[in-house]
Amino acid sequence: MAMDRDFSGVRFLTVAEVATMMRVSKMTVYRLVHSGEMPAVRVGRSFRVPETAVDQYLSHSFVETEAM
C-alpha cells in the first residue's frame, strides 16, 4: 500500500551523521531507531533519519539541571 507523503522538503541524515550531531555512538542511534523513539526510513540495508526527528528528539529529551 503506497502512502501519499511529500518528502521533497525533508533532509535525511545517515546514522553516522545523527551520531555526530548528538555526540553519541552509532549504536545508540540504532537503538533509538529500533525502539521507535526516533523515526527513520529504511533505504536498502541502511536507515535515514529526518533531520526534524533529531531536532524533536533532542528538544523532548532536554533536561534542565540546577546550578550548585
For residue 63, what pLDDT is reported? 75
Is 3 within 8 Å of 11 (Cβ atoms)?
Answer: no
For residue 68, what pLDDT is reported? 63
pLDDT tens digits, residue range 28-64?
Answer: 999 999 999 999 999 999 999 999 999 999 998 877 7
pTM of the predicted model as reported, rounded to 2 decimal places: 0.79
Nearest Cα neighbor of 48 from 58, 61, 38 is: 38
3-state secondary structure of 18: helix
DSSP element (H, E) containing 55? helix 51-61
DSSP element (H, E) containing 10? none
pLDDT category, 67, cuts 50, 70, 90?
A: low
pLDDT tens digits, residue range 11-26?
Answer: 999 999 999 999 999 9
